[in-house]
Amino acid sequence: MLMIQISKIAKELGVQSSVVLYFLKSKGFNVAGVMSKVDQKTYNFVLKQFTKAAEIIPSIGTPTEISYKHNIDEFIKIISKHGITSLYHFTDESNLDSIKRHKGLYSWQKCLDNGIKINKQASNELSRDLDKKKGLENYVRLSLTKDHPMMHVALSNGVIDKPKILKIDIDVLYWLETKYSDVNAAANYANIGGELTHLKNIDFKIIKSGKWKNEDEKHKLQAEILVKEHIPIKYIKNI
């Protein structure tokens, strides 16, 4: 059986060996170091997730390089410890064709700048103003729970008609520019940032339970993962 060294795969892809190593660890592969070897099936799996230099976004036409947190292994330890396997983004079913056509999810500002129409948008003018004040207008908002309280609010208010919960690959959580918020990022008291301490601020116990007993726990359940500008469609598991 052909076995390929991780360091050689990294060289072929044009990325650091540690990036490929930590990526494989995050997916549950038993690899000890960059000199470890993987089989052909694993090699092909890695190739599907990476590009040699930059991924071209067809509808926008700008290259996007995927870079990872420098201490990604520490992030992986936390996520693995709490058994987080997917992230979630709710939208209206009527937006699925646009997501497919434009090859992924974009921040609302990116959509606005590039004329991408959002048929049913959960965010309102107030939340967008708050995003701008915090410099978050160019981030795609993801949750750690399928049953997000704000989805029910949007549904009851008629903002969305047929909710669709998109499952997002956990890989986006480790991207260099990804940020974390311990509650809804629009809240005045939200702790937001891209460091390990910000990820640790999230109450994973509440997240895993999926339930809340009071308003404080309800807010903690709305913790968010903020991904810069764009999530390519290959990272959406159920579309």
What pLDDT, in 10s, does the model give residues 207-223? 998 888 898 998 999 99
In a domain, 193, yes or no: yes
Three-state DSSP class for residue 229: coil
Three-state DSSP class for residue 148: coil
40 and 144 fall within a common domain: no
49 and 155 fall within a common domain: no
In a domain, 63, yes or no: no
How much is the pLDDT for 52?
A: 36
46 and 156 fall within a common domain: no
141 and 85 fall within a common domain: yes
pLDDT, one tens digit per residue, over 105-164 is 999 888 888 887 776 666 555 566 777 788 889 999 999 988 777 776 666 666 677 888
Residue 225 near residue 142, CB atoms below 8 Å: yes
In a domain, 75, yes or no: no
In a domain, 85, yes or no: yes
Residues spanned by the domain of 144:
81-235
| CA distances in angstroms from 163 to 19, 85, 89, 146, listed in the order given | 35, 21, 10, 11
In a domain, 59, yes or no: no
Among the ranges given (99-108, 110-119, 187-196, 222-231), the one the predictor scored with the smallest mean pLDDT: 110-119
Mean pLDDT along residues 190-203: 97
Confidence of residue 56 (pLDDT cuts 50, 70, 90): very low
Confidence of residue 239 (pLDDT cuts 50, 70, 90): confident
Confidence of residue 63 (pLDDT cuts 50, 70, 90): very low
pLDDT, one tens digit per residue, over 21-33 is 878 887 888 888 8
In a domain, 72, yes or no: no
In a domain, 221, yes or no: yes
47 and 89 fall within a common domain: no
In a domain, 69, yes or no: no
Find the helix packing angle between 17-26 and 6-13, rounded to 10°. Answer: 110
The two tokens of residue 48 are 């599907």
| CA distances in angstroms from 21 to 4, 9, 31, 46, 170, listed in the order given | 13, 10, 7, 10, 16
Q: How many domains does the chain have?
A: 2
89 and 183 fall within a common domain: yes
Q: Where does a domain end: 53, 68, 90?
A: 53
215 and 140 fall within a common domain: yes
117 and 223 fall within a common domain: yes
Q: Distance between CA atoms of 226 and 192, rounded to whole angstroms?
A: 9
